Chain A
Amino acid sequence: MTNVPNINDIKITPEIVKEHGLTEEEYQRIVSAMGREPNYTELGIYSVMWSEHCSYKSSRFHLKKLPTEAPWVIQGPGENAGVIDIGDGQAAIFKMESHNHPSYIEPYQGAATGVGGILRDVFTMGARPVANMNALRFGEPDHPKTRHLLAGVVEGIGGYGNCVGVPTVGGETNFDPSYNGNILVNAMTVGLADTDKIFYCAAAGVGNPVVYVGSKTGRDGIHGATMASAEFTEDSEEKRPTVQVGDPFTEKLLIEACLELMATDAIIAIQDMGAAGLTSSSVEMASKGGVGFELNLDKVPQREENMTPYEMCLSESQERMLMVLKPGREDMAKAIFEKWELDFAVIGEITDTGKLTLTFGGEVVGDMPINSLVEDAPEYERPYVPTPKREAVDVAAVNDLNKAVLDLIGGPNLCSRRWIWEQYDHMVMGDTIQRPGGDAAVIRVHGTGKALAISTDVTPRYCHADPVEGGRQAVAETWRNITAVGGTPLAITNCLNFGNPERKDIMGQFVGCLEGMGEACRALDYPIVSGNVSLYNETNGSGILPTPAIGGIGVMKDSDKMATISFKNEGEAIVLIGKTKNELGASLYQREVLGKDAGAPPHVDLALERRNGDFVRALIENGQVTTCHDLSDGGLIAALADMAIAGGIGASVAVDGELPLHAALFSETQARYLISADTETAETIRKEAKDAGIPVAVIGATGGKRLRVNNDAVDIPMSELARAHADWMPKFMAKT
């Protein structure tokens, strides 16, 4: 150790402060919080703790306004993941997190470590991970990097998830030019635990051992958290070495070892080492517990030689956890980790100083008040301008409706994602009862008749056109997707992906989306229990569409009643629940078929959303309906096509003349569902709906080998439709 140059001898200059992503004001704030100049290691620690990624300094003020409570919420935001009660003494633990910047720089490892990180957030709390989901956004298909990024991200998600043996059960993938230089990779994990076996991160008990487990620490990912908080410039690609490399095999061992130790009573607190590694995990644990930590960095298991305290504190090496154990349980815990061939080291203890004290080579190399690292972090109420409202516009019809339908169904946005999800093991663990491709993924709660329904959604087009409406719609769509399979939506997690918050218009998008989300959560009794914010998704001043990705969870009491989107029998009646309005503003039809993006997006009437959804869910729960699909991108005709393709059964429908035909087919009016049932049941449903004041119409019947609307206004052979739907993605990915 003696030959390590003392990094703390480096003099802090304004340049060094700037390189750490801190402003001069923020630096002065550090000096006054510490009562002295920080040394180099301390500066590094402050810089990551006060980065946007760790401190939420631009978003905190607004995040506080979101609803986070309900009787079934056990733990809301602020822990590693959210926890909700799903009955019978069981809890679902879940969270979604972004790994955008690393995935753009190195798509395989970026996406893989994104999955690894979110898995750790969930099993840290005592849950066995049971499902992974993801929400992916790429640039326009023709952009030279899109294929490479898509291929790498999908391989990375699969490479990690498949190996750890947690099924990747669904997600969403979109393309838009705004993501050309900033792709979005949002990964979500859902786990299950017993409500009396949930673990938190608050450290307690002066003198108790602080234990490091998992992989050794190397120099990877140093300053990843700072990178995730900076806007991209052309030379960002030079930053490749800071990308971490994941080892899913070690993660699998870590899951098993942690769950084995959690079955005992040895753990007081546990936290994964995520962004900003050892630093943020120890600060988090000490801060939540109101205690101090003294860590001896010589004891940290190291993979590389001559590592400095600065590097050890800021390394983002993967597959590591920090725990506080009850005194005397170290040997038992160590035996478990050794059985799983993982490192185990007592690296420090809890103190009553309220400080994070770091020693190395017998010297104190860092000594910072925990409070100042967390509570003194800057909070900005950044100025913003609301996005101007768009006027309603007339959206033109097209002559060839068949072509329009085929272009949409066989285009990048609505085509089958099979090429993607076949690369994910979506069946391992033996409880996937609704595979990818439907409205929501459904997995059984192992060993019970219950199931969880999971969906991730957002329509960035709408968020861009009207952030408030878009925020509402994102929440409402997950709610609707969970409802459409028969689930009762309970809570959401979110990943708020936006551009540079220092720009007033971007901040306006952020504030607007949150306002809409909050409204929807309140109206639907659907609180936010966890989440993450990813700002600065910009390259050379060009920001992404506002993308508040929502991951929703619902529960189904009787999994046998589950609905799917596929038509199951010929000769069934097709019933539309909800009334279609002429809402083609910001629609997929307008963008893809007409090449325009104008007008206000569809309005989300939350009361109507709830009424129609509750009605549909009751039909499924009563066993009246097993075929159901919500209407979203592409409208009625897109939903109808999905149902016909999935079932391999054609359909013939007639829509009345109140609206122009192209509006009836492509309008994206919210709160609508299509169901199918035998004619007798359909008639009962129609009457029940009428009595309940729910708009309802029997619009046609299943059967045949063609998809037809109003005789031959649309008339496409099923084989042609299915081929268009299936072929786009594999053909696109085969072009290299």
Chain B
Amino acid sequence: MKARIHVTLKNGVLDPQGKAIEHALGNMGFDGINQARQGKFIELDLSETDRDKAETMVDEMCRKLLANTVIENYSIELE
């Protein structure tokens, strides 16, 4: 089973890299970007086949390592 994890900065946390992306895109002539936020994408190939178990496990991984919940949110997709 594959787990896809998106880690993003929480709303309200300043994102200087996102700001830079927004600025650069604007300079390149891409108009109409209200906001750019950047984050991380992590893909795990799991041997676990039980969806609930996998979800619990990956959630724990996110809380304990993959995201810093002081500043980051995460979301998990399983397939």
Contacts and interface: CB of A to CB of B under 8 A. Distances in A.
A736 interface: yes
Interface in B12-46: 23-24, 27
Contacts of A736: 23-24, 27
Q: Is the interface of A mostly helix, strand, loop or mixed?
A: loop
Contacts of B23: 736
A106 B67 CA distance: 30
Interface string A381-418: 00000000000000000000000000000000000000
A332 B23 CA distance: 54
Interface size, B (range):
under 10
A736 B27 CA distance: 8
A234 to B, nearest CB: 21
Nearest to A736: B27
A736 B24 CA distance: 8
A356 B27 CA distance: 54
Interface in B58-72: none
B38 to A, nearest CB: 17
B36 to A, nearest CB: 15
Interface in A698-736: 736
A285 B67 CA distance: 47
A736 B19 CA distance: 14
B42 to A, nearest CB: 18
A736 B25 CA distance: 11
B10 to A, nearest CB: 27
A427 to B, nearest CB: 24
A571 B27 CA distance: 51
A84 B2 CA distance: 56
Interface in A574-627: none
Nearest to B24: A736
A503 to B, nearest CB: 38
Interface string A125-145: 000000000000000000000
B50 to A, nearest CB: 29
A279 B23 CA distance: 45
A479 B62 CA distance: 57
A365 to B, nearest CB: 32
A736 B21 CA distance: 12
B28 to A, nearest CB: 10
A666 to B, nearest CB: 38
A109 B2 CA distance: 31
Interface string A543-580: 00000000000000000000000000000000000000
Contacts of B27: 736
A736 B26 CA distance: 11
Contacts of B24: 736
Nearest to B27: A736
Nearest to B20: A736
B63 to A, nearest CB: 25
A736 B23 CA distance: 9
Interface string A518-561: 00000000000000000000000000000000000000000000
B67 to A, nearest CB: 21
B60 to A, nearest CB: 25
A444 B27 CA distance: 46
B49 to A, nearest CB: 25
A73 to B, nearest CB: 48
Nearest to B23: A736
A148 to B, nearest CB: 11
A445 B71 CA distance: 43
A736 B28 CA distance: 10
3 contacts: A736-B23, A736-B24, A736-B27
> Closest 3 A-B residue pairs measured CB to CB?
A736-B27, A736-B24, A736-B23
Interface of A: 736
